[in-house]
């Protein structure tokens, strides 16, 4: 996610803004910028690259002034570049904005503003805010009213800071869905998207709520609701975190923070992409190949590791709900087989969190040479895979710091659900089924929140099983890949041997391993293959194997045969993997932390495998 820092007070803004940006670097970003008011001029500097690059440029600049805003950008709309870096202005040096979030309707707003003569200099959604505020200021509004009127026109998520030459003592902060806090110091206020940029100066923080606006004048602030209403008295919180804890949102590890933020991740992935009343998905990144996709008769999905397990789930979705024959192949194998692909009728879909995985990138280049349509699902905007593919869909999951992928995997499954809806509704999927999928997708964030509340009981089960040396993870159909992912999560952060597989394959050899020292995790929701899974559980139990089951809320029968049960809410079979993976992520996390493993940076692993 982007990082925001604002300053107003008795000191020079520049050093505090830059220190704040350095504190936000851990979040991941691709560009940085700062704007400071000096007399009757707002000086604005921004770069593509690191905060250190920005500091080099500023080394020769007299960036004086005691009010300013600064930003680290995690690109969503518009490639990483100097022109797309924040702060963005109205083009006349009057208004400057930094923003974290997504403006869903920015294209319409931008077109209308251009018709009124506004000149844009970036590809971003954010720049629209600066032009809207400038327009309302020119119509006679003060800065607060200009921001209020602008935000009434905007659909999406935001945390933003606005400053204007015409009101040199004022900063406006506003929030809807993305976090923003005000640090209350002695004769100074530091506003930031994350406490880590504030805690060096004060531990007294005020958190802006959704739909709230703060008018900051000098070192006073007044918070009120964006939909009118009087001042809101907010409690000042004392944040005891040290800086390291702040970066992790108070959690012990980035991995746990990222597991816990999955409800918001799914909301961000879905944002602006569902038309509920029509049961359709809107995927802007596919618009230029929409007609080509209508003709596609077969899809090959290529990815590595966790992304390849998401791909396997996509295979089931696309075949069952879009009626498109689909095959999955890991990138490192696809590269060296003589795949037979007809460029006229087939497409290759790739998934990659980093967008830089060497094997996956190599596949794209190879199939593109054969004229095959390539579609990418990536989390990093402007990454090599995002650039190489003909079209694509960004996860909008924000930076994933933990090496073991969690929230992006859940986002990949969400995107694959959207893609299935998109392609299915191009084909035979009915509006009724489309609405059913849409309705359930919108409930997924709450379902995940329900599962996260069982974290303590999952920790207790982790304590019971942490000393076993071998595990099976088994599942069928949509949850066979979740068994693979659950096994990978456990082994890659706890270094315990864990083998994922299909429940149906148990009797073809693996069952020979079962005894009281070889527990099995069964992913066994109430779905179309539930009874088959129950038979497999019975087979393991008959050989004294311990059973940990992921089951559907309300399933009392499974308690009679499983030693432990993680419950997940009931949902559409195609969406159960998004829920079933969550307890397995937490199980792996707790086992690994109980064994004092470095869960964020496991031995031998890299976050992005940029070599073959």
302 binds ligand AGP (CB under 6 A): no
Q: What are phi and psi of 160, to 5 degrees?
A: -145, 155
311 binds ligand AGP (CB under 6 A): no
Residue where the block lists tokens 């739909």:
211
Binding segment for ligand AGP (CB under 6 A), chosen from 35-43, 242-250, 335-343, 346-354, is: 346-354
Question: Beta partners for 474?
Answer: 501, 522
Nearer to ligand AGP, 307 or 524 (CB): 307
Nearer to ligand AGP, 196 or 360 (CB): 360
413 binds ligand AGP (CB under 6 A): no
494 binds ligand AGP (CB under 6 A): no
Nearer to ligand AGP, 127 or 492 (CB): 492
Binding segment for ligand AGP (CB under 6 A), chosen from 229-237, 268-276, 403-411, 424-432, is: 403-411
Q: Is 2 a catalytic residue?
A: yes
Where on the phi/psi map is residue 453: left (φ > 0), alpha (ψ -120 to 50), or beta? alpha
Contacting residue, 72, 126, 269, 354, with ligand AGP by CB under 6 A: 354
44 binds ligand AGP (CB under 6 A): no
The Cα-based distances of 176 to 24, 63, 173, 201, 236 in angstroms read: 20, 31, 11, 25, 20
The answer for residues whose C-beta is within 8 angstroms of residue 548's C-beta and 6 or more apart is 461, 465, 519, 520, 521, 522, 562, 563, 564, 565, 566, 587
Contacting residue, 31, 353, 374, 479, with ligand AGP by CB under 6 A: 353
Question: Beta partners for 44?
Answer: 35
Nearer to ligand AGP, 181 or 489 (CB): 489
The Cα-based distances of 356 to 100, 353, 385, 610 in angstroms read: 24, 8, 6, 6
Q: Is 607 a catalytic residue?
A: yes
CB of 309 to ligand AGP, least distance (A): 8
The residue annotated as part of the active site, out of 2, 329, 524, 597, is 2
Query: Looking at beta carbons, which residue is closest to ligand AGP?
Result: 305
CB of 49 to ligand AGP, least distance (A): 21
The residue annotated as part of the active site, out of 48, 489, 526, 607, is 607
Nearer to ligand AGP, 127 or 258 (CB): 258
Angle between helices 13-24 and 51-58 (to 10 degrees): 160
- Give the span between the Cα atoms of 485 and 88, in whole angstroms: 41
CB of 168 to ligand AGP, least distance (A): 45
Contacting residue, 78, 305, 392, 569, with ligand AGP by CB under 6 A: 305
CB of 260 to ligand AGP, least distance (A): 17
CB of 307 to ligand AGP, least distance (A): 4
Cis peptide before 87 (omega within 30 of 0): yes
306 binds ligand AGP (CB under 6 A): yes
Burial of 193 (0-12, 13-18, 19+ CB in 10 A): buried
265 binds ligand AGP (CB under 6 A): no
CB of 401 to ligand AGP, least distance (A): 12
Q: Using an 8 Å Cβ cutoff, are 556 and 534 in contact?
A: no
335 binds ligand AGP (CB under 6 A): no
332 binds ligand AGP (CB under 6 A): no
The Cα-based distances of 492 to 69, 318, 356, 503, 587 in angstroms read: 40, 29, 20, 22, 13
Q: Using an 8 Å Cβ cutoff, are 288 and 261 in contact?
A: no
What is the sign, positive or negative, of the torsion defined by CA atoms of 102, 417, 337, 609? positive
Contact footprint for ligand AGP (CB under 6 A): 304-307, 352-354, 357, 360, 403-405, 492, 605, 608-609
Residues labelled catalytic: 2, 607
């Amino acid at each position: 996610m982007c990082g925001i820092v604002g300053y107003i007070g008795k000191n020079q803004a520049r050093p505090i803004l830059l220190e704040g940006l350095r504190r936000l670097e851990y979040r991941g970003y691709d560009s940085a910028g700062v704007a400071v008011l000096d007399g009757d001029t707002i000086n604005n500097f921004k770069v593509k690259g690191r905060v250190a690059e920005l500091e080099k440029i500023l080394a020769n600049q007299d960036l004086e002034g005691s009010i300013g805003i600064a930003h680290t950008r995690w690109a969503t709309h518009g490639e990483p570049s100097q022109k797309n870096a924040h702060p963005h202005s109205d083009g006349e040096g009057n208004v400057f904005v930094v923003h974290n979030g997504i403006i869903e309707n920015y294209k319409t707003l931008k077109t209308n503003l251009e018709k009124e003569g506004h000149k844009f200099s970036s590809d971003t959604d954010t720049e629209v805010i600066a032009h809207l505020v400038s327009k309302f200021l020119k119509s006679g509004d003060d800065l607060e009213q200009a921001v209020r009127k602008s935000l009434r026109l905007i659909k999406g998520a935001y945390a933003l800071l606005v400053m204007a030459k015409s009101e040199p003592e004022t900063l406006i902060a506003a929030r809807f869905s993305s976090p923003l806090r005000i640090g209350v110091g002695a004769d100074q206020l530091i506003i930031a998207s994350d406490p880590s940029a504030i805690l060096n100066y004060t531990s007294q923080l005020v958190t802006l709520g959704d739909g709230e606006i703060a008018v900051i004048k000098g070192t006073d602030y007044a918070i009120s609701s964006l939909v009118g209403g009087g001042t809101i008295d907010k409690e000042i919180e004392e944040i005891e975190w040290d800086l390291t804890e702040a970066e992790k949102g108070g959690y012990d590890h980035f991995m746990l923070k990222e597991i816990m933020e999955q409800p918001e991740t799914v909301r961000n992935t879905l944002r602006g992409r569902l038309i509920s009343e029509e049961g359709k998905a809107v995927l802007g990144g596919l618009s230029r190949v929409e007609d080509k996709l209508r003709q596609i008769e077969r899809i090959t999905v290529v990815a590595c590791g966790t992304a390849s397990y998401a791909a396997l789930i996509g295979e089931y979705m696309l075949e069952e709900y879009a009626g498109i024959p689909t095959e999955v192949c890991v990138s490192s194998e696809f590269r060296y087989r003589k795949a037979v692909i007809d460029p006229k009728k087939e497409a290759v879909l790739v998934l990659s969190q980093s967008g830089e995985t060497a094997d996956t990138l190599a596949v794209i280049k190879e199939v593109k040479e054969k004229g095959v349509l390539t579609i990418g699902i990536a989390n990093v905007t402007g990454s090599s895979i995002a650039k190489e593919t003909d079209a694509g869909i960004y996860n909008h999951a924000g930076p994933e710091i933990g090496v073991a992928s969690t929230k992006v995997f859940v986002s990949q499954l969400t995107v694959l659900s959207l893609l299935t809806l998109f392609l299915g509704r191009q084909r035979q999927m009915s509006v009724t089924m489309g609405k059913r999928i849409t309705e359930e997708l919108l409930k997924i964030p709450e379902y995940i929140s329900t599962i996260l509340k069982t974290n303590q009981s999952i920790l207790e089960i982790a304590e019971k099983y942490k000393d076993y040396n071998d595990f099976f993870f088994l599942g069928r159909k949509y949850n066979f890949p979740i068994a693979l992912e659950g096994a990978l999560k456990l082994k890659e952060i706890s270094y315990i041997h864990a083998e994922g597989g299909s429940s149906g394959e148990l009797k073809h050899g693996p069952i020979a391993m079962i005894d009281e020292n070889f527990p099995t995790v069964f992913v066994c929701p109430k779905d179309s293959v539930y009874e088959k899974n129950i038979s497999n559980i019975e087979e393991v139990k008959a050989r004294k194997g311990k059973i940990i089951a992921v089951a559907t809320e309300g399933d009392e029968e499974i308690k009679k045969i499983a030693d432990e049960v993680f419950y997940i809410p009931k949902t559409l079979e195609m969406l159960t993997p998004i829920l079933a993976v969550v307890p397995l992520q937490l199980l792996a996390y707790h086992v690994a932390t109980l064994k004092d493993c470095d869960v964020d940076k496991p031995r031998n692993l890299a976050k992005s495998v940029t070599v073959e």
